[in-house]
Structure 1
Amino acid sequence: MHSETTKQSDEQMQKLDMLGVSVFHLEHLFLQEVCTSTGNPLSRDSKIHEIENLRGPPGVIRNKGTNTVCPIDGKEGAAYVHCLQGEDHVGEATQMLSYSWNYTIGDIVDTLSDYCLQNKLNPKRTYIWMCCLCVNQHRVVQKSTQQKSGMVPTAKVDFFAIFGERVKKIGHLLAMMAPWNAPVYITRVWCIFEIFTAHITDGCKIDIVMPPKEKLSLEQDVVDTGGGVNALYETLCNTKVEKANASVDSDRLAILGQVKSDVGYSVLNNLVNDLLRGWIQGVLTQLVRARENTNNMDYVCFCTQIGKILLHNGENDSAMELHQNALTICETVLGKNHERTADTHSDIGAVLYKMGDCEGALSKYKEALDIRLSRFDKNHCDVALAYNDMGLVLNDMGDYEGALTKYNEALAIQKSVLGEEHKEVATSYNNLGIVLGSMGDYAGSLEKHKEALAILMSALGKNHPRVAFAYNGIGSALHGLGEYEGALRKHKQALAIRLLALGKNHSLVASSCINIGSALSSMGDYEGALSNYEEALAIKLSALGKNHPDVATTYVNIGRVLDEMGNYEGALAKYEEGLAIGLSALGKNHPFVAITYNSIGDVLCAKADYERALAKHKEALAIQLSALGKNHPGVAGSYSCIGTVLQLMGDYEGALTEYEKALAISLSALGKNHPNVAAAYDNIGAVLAFMGNHSGALLKFEESLAIWEPLLGADHPNTKDCLEWIEDSKKELQKQSLVPELLHGKSLD
């Protein structure tokens, strides 16, 4: 009998602990109690910690229950919720509100009222569990006082278990973000912990909400420039629970300690970042949907701004849909030859480029150019912009001469209109430097990047983020020249600028880490390279989310350095992670997928799994032929990979055929003095040597040396390797007594 009574009592206690305050009560009674309270003047704009300061005398919340016996412990002093009666005011909690005590009561009430309105909920039957109203604040103050005085010890609390049980029972969390452009929420350790716990609790629904006035402010930002929304992405995607604060420091330390030991900071941070990223994308989509039946330029503005934001964050398909909508309206309202229509063609081109459809992107950029040429003088800056866009795509397509032409046309216009020292002129110099680097003209590339650097430092100052781009360009050119120490210094200068200007969690900081890792890898410092790549991955996971294409690229970078270290299983695992993201985010026919197949093939080849390696390289080749065309340098790379596998399988004739295909493409696309051409000669020379054709091998190695030595110098490893192969070939020929005839009487050194 006694146990049955105890059981009923426990069940009753649990029900009391799960009571919530109705939204109706908050709107009409609690808000009135706040605004009419005696003592310190309070209003809708008062924050929760002002309404109830737990370090001072009782406020509105504690006063409500001062003379009421708590139904849970039978002592005087009850929680606010336990002072309410009637189902219009109190009932079993339907939602839990996760919020900060720094929020104003007006914002909280408005948010909950709007939530009911938007979801067609009855405010009288929507009961909110809020810690300030549903936890007995009398006991909180008493316990804190006793712990400070040493009357009771500070007990260890399992926050996951206690909070998780409450979240599970209620089953629905409302996480409140305010203000929208700098949410207090993600600076509070309790808030971050609450949304994370809800996320990992099976069956718990999470809705992220904000006050109506914040929605309007966000909407206006999109109409204006969208800059604040882009900044919001940066803010929301850099949650750091270890840096968050709490009103009670012992709570902060206890929560952080448990998070660190149970799941780790990075796991929690990345999960919360993904949730918040999804929320802002949902908000932006709602803003568009609310206007999608209006054929006006406000809707075009929304589509354009939000499309660019989504594209930046890897949402290519959603971005394409919005830009297509904008184009349809522009053509209908403004006409097919309007400059705004040209801008929209350009926006679509940018999406196609990200999706790997270079032909489609080039076509769209050409449409934009044609419209601008018909509307503006040929020396207009918008015309230069179109040339730059086309140059970018042509460079990726392997049409380096075409890219060079477009970038030079853009440069000429910018110099004429803006002057020699304008920052946009520097951008064109950087673009030219990139193409020259792709062409193997590293000295020319270095010169262009240095010109860009001089202009940018003069125009913007030495610590501007755009200066970092010039340093990176110089670093890449030095890398191509084999000056790895110099490259490393330049990439570190770029990193220092970005850390100062952008903070350590920015995606461009991750890019600098990758550049540094690349230089270290070329120097043979694989551990250092791996450390930098892993740092880049951590930043990108936080800033961009686990499914972003840039994250996939970083996994591939890590895989390559593990491959260099001989950790083939580790490399394969990273390549597979990158491939999975690439297939999901970009589709099975994207050039990145082909690159990853080739990387996987290289590892399988190193493991002597030649059949599977060959299959992967052939998959890569098929994608590249379809996406890039038969004369692209990337296609040549796949032919070389196939040739390598065939050579190791002993099929020298087959290998020679593949290497010769690679050489023909490289000569056509890159010119006779490009490093890729030298590498192709080396490959052909090597297989000829295996076939016993040392005279043919010698000729190929000499052609290779004629490229490597002027390009990289006599002391570069590639040059030295080539000289060694030449000597080996000569020795083999000497054994066969064929050298004098071959060399027309030249003596051997």
Structure 2
Amino acid sequence: MEPKVAMEFVERTMKKNPDVVGVIFIMTIDQSKLSTSNTPFAMIDEHSAIPSEQEILFTMHSVFRVVEMKQTTKNNRLWEVQLTITDDNDPQLSTLTNRIKQEVRGSTGWRIMGKLLLKVGHFDQAEELYQELLKNASTDSERAFIYHQLAYVRKYRGEYREAAEFLEKSLKVYEQILSPNDPKLATMYNNIGLVYDNMGEYSKALEFYEKANKIWEISLPPTHPDLATSYNNIGQVYNNMGEYSKALEYYEKSLKIGEKALPANHPDLANSYNNIGTTYYGMGEYSKALSYLEKSLSIKQKSLPSTHPSIKNVMNSIAVVKKKL
């Protein structure tokens, strides 16, 4: 679309509603980077009622890479987002997509949908779905899984007592039907540790994290992402206890696995960079802290929805660090 026309649409809406933030998408289309089998766009000005708008019609599922997001200098309510068009054959996109498909896999479409809703931060929709599934659950194993997922929802909302209640219900079932070293039990112990961690009960958190880690070190290959998660969580407890050297040791173990096992733009890598950054901040090494936090933000902006709360959290951390420099 003609840039002036796009700006008119945005400014008109912003004048009507002072709470609205305007966003202009500036798209770069390099046809040499597109698969020859795709026809992702077409100029339709000859068929438009207003040819001067120079509209372009994109096919469904067209994919763009976010290059940069910035506020305009003239208006702090207006943002520009630089995009470049790509397709499913983009190596980073396909690697990340395949990884996320593995992480949200499930025995039914509803289970997959629930995991995906949690992954992108749509917690209300996830809870609504899981409560409906709970009504129709016919086995203890199925109910245990749903209790576990509802605990995730509560944890992400900061409702840790409620999360603990759901986890205890789930753990009670799993301990009866699983062997002592089953990886599913490790997942349960890990998540209970997370809840205690968020409640500030660090000794209990460390106890459950170490139970999970013991099972995973036995049952998983040394570069498995769940093992990276385990090291990360132990590091988090030490960080919360102010034992920064121990925290950094475990965070670096986690990052080492993540860099081998995950795509370069995976959100879990962003979390590792963020955690190392906050640890360096606690140690007073602000330049190192800023470097890791900026790496974290870059990945999160590329791999998560723009409204995901963790993006704002990293931005706030960066602002705090910059004040120390």
Q: TM-score range by the shorter chain?
A: 0.5 to 0.7
Q: Please state how far the C-alpha of 1:403 moved relative to its aligned partner.
A: 0.5
Structure 1 distance, partners of 2:285, 2:294, is 14
Q: Is residue 323 from structure 1 mapped to residue 125 from structure 2 by the alignment?
A: no
Q: Distance in 2 between the 1:478 and 1:515 partners?
A: 12
Unaligned runs of 5+ in 2: 28-40, 46-50, 56-72, 81-106
| Pair 1:502 & 2:323 matched | no
Decide whether aligned partners of structure 1 residues 504 and 342 sit closer, same or farther in structure 2, where only a CA change above 3 A counts. closer
- Residue pair 2:293, 2:318 contacting (<8 A) in 1 also: yes
The amino acid across from 2:113 in the alignment is Q
Shift of 1:377: 1.3
Taking a change above 3 Å as real, the CA distance of residues 312 and 261 of structure 1, as seen in their structure-2 partners, is same
The one-letter code matched in structure 2 to 1:360 is E
Question: 2:161 is matched with which residue: 332, 344, 359?
Answer: 359
Deviations 1:303-324 (A, max 9, x none): 87258627954553x5434322
Matches within 5 A, 1:85-234: 193=9
Contact 1:304-1:326 at 8 Å conserved across structures: no
Q: Is the 8 A contact 1:307 1:323 kept in 2?
A: no
- CA separation of 1:308/1:465 partners in 2, compared to 1, >3 Å: closer, same or farther? closer
Partner of 2:95: none
Q: CA deviation at 1:436?
A: 0.9
String of CA shifts for 1:466-493, please: whole Å, max 9, x gaps.
3332222111111111111221122223
Name 1:466's counterpart in structure 2: 268
Could you tell me how far apart the structure 1 residues matched to 2:305 and 2:268 are? 17
Q: Deviations over 1:403-435 (max 9, x none)?
A: 111111111111111123322111111111111
Number of the residue aligned with 2:117:
309
Q: Which amino acid aligns with 1:305?
A: M
Deviation of 1:450 after TM superposition, in Å, equals: 0.8
- Asked if 1:243 is matched to 2:44, the reply is no
**8 Å contact kept, 1:426–1:455:** yes
Give ranges in structure 1 of 5+ residues lacking alignment: 1-99, 101-156, 160-188, 202-237, 254-259, 268-297, 526-749
In 1, Cα distance between the equivalents of 2:303 and 2:9? 26
Do the aligned residues in 2 keep the contact of 1:304 with 1:322 (CA within 8 Å)? Answer: no
Whole-Å separation in 2 of the counterparts to 1:453 and 1:303:
29
Alignment partner of 2:290 out of 482, 488, 502:
488
Aligned positions of 1:39-118 closer than 5 A: none
Residue from 328, 347, 372 that aligns with 2:174: 372
The partner residue of 2:233 within 414, 431, 445 is 431
8 A contact 1:366–1:386 mirrored in 2: no
How much has 1:400 moved relative to structure 2?
0.3
> Equivalent residue for 1:475?
277
Greater share of strand residues, 1 or 2? 2
Cα separation, 1, equivalents of 2:280 and 2:170: 36
Pick closer, same or farther for the CA change 1:418–1:515 going to 2, 3 Å.
same
Give the secondary structure class of the aligned counterpart of 1:243: strand
Measured in 2, the distance between the counterparts of 1:491 and 1:252 equals 41
Counterpart CA distance in 1 for 2:109 and 2:152 is 17
Q: Distance in 2 between matches of 1:504 and 1:353?
A: 20
- Structure 1 residues 355, 454: closer, same or farther in 2, change over 3 A? closer
Query: CA 1:399–1:322 in structure 2 vs 1: closer, same or farther (change >3 Å)?
Result: same
Q: 1:365 offset after TM fit, Å?
A: 0.8
Query: Does residue 213 of structure 2 align to residue 411 of structure 1?
Result: yes
Aligned to 2:191: 389
For residues 428 and 354 of structure 1, what CA distance do their matches in structure 2 show? Answer: 18
Supply the AA of the counterpart residue of 1:373: E
| TM-score, normalised by the number of residues in structure 2 | 0.65
1:441: how far off?
0.9
Equivalent residues of 1:475, 1:486 under 8 A apart:
yes
Please report how far the alpha carbon of residue 251 of structure 1 lies from its aligned counterpart in structure 2 after TM superposition: 2.3
Q: How does 1:324-343 map to 2 (within 5 A)?
A: 324-330=131-137, 333-334=138-139, 337-338=140-141, 340-343=142-145
Whether the aligned pair in 2 keeps the contact of 1:442 and 1:477 (CA below 8 Å) is yes
Q: 2: distance between equivalents of 1:262 and 1:438?
A: 40
The aligned amino acid for 1:322 is: L
Q: Judge conservation of contact 2:209–2:230 (CA < 8 Å) in 1.
A: yes
Return the letter of the residue paired with 2:303: L
| Structure 1 residues 603-662: Cα deviation after superposition (integer angstroms, max 9, x where no partner) | xxxxxxxxxxxxxxxxxxxxxxxxxxxxxxxxxxxxxxxxxxxxxxxxxxxxxxxxxxxx
1:458/1:503 Cα in 2 relative to 1: closer, same or farther (>3 Å)? Answer: same
In structure 2, do the counterparts of structure 1 residues 390 and 262 end up closer, same or farther at CA, with 3 Å as the change threshold? closer
Q: 1:313 to 1:444 in 2, by over 3 A?
A: closer
2:130 partner letter = H
In the TM superposition, residue 494 of structure 1 has moved relative to its aligned partner by 2.7
Deviations 1:139-161 (A, max 9, x none): xxxxxxxxxxxxxxxxxx9x8xx
Code of the residue aligned with 1:477 in structure 2: it is T
Report what 1:442 is aligned to. Answer: 244
Inter-partner Cα distance in structure 2 for 1:464 and 1:306: 20
Give the 3 Å change call, closer, same or farther, for CA 311–464 of structure 1 in structure 2. Answer: closer
Q: 1:262 to 1:519 in 2, by over 3 A?
A: closer
More helix by share: 1
Q: How far apart are the structure 2 equivalents of 1:436 and 1:263? A: 40
TM-score by length of 1: 0.30
Shift of 1:509: 4.8
Residue 294 of structure 2 aligns with an amino acid whose one-letter code is K
Return closer, same or farther for 1:520/1:376 CA change in 2, 3 Å cut-off: same
Equivalent residues of 2:127, 2:153 under 8 A apart: yes
Q: Using a 3 Å threshold, how does the CA distance of structure 1 residues 506 and 360 change in structure 2: closer, same or farther?
A: closer
RMSD of Structure 2 on Structure 1 (CA): 4.1
The answer to whether the aligner puts 1:399 opposite 2:206 as a matched pair is: no
* Per-residue deviation, 1:349: 1.2
Q: Tell me the residue number matched to 1:518.
A: 320
Distance 1:357 1:304, change over 3 A: farther
Following TM superposition, by how much is the alpha carbon of 1:497 offset from its aligned partner in structure 2, in angstroms? 4.3
* Residue deviations 1:568-588 (CA, integer Å, cap 9, x gap): xxxxxxxxxxxxxxxxxxxxx
Identity of aligned residues (%): 26
For the residues of structure 2 that align with 1:470 and 1:341, how far apart are their CA atoms?
32
Change in CA separation of 1:418 and 1:304 when aligned onto 2, cut-off 3 Å: closer
Which letter does structure 2 place at the counterpart of 1:323?
A: Y
Greater relative CO, 1 or 2 (CA 8 Å, sep 6+):
2
Kindly tell me: are residues 366 and 304 of structure 1, through their superposed partners in 2, closer, same or farther at Cα, counting changes over 3 Å? farther
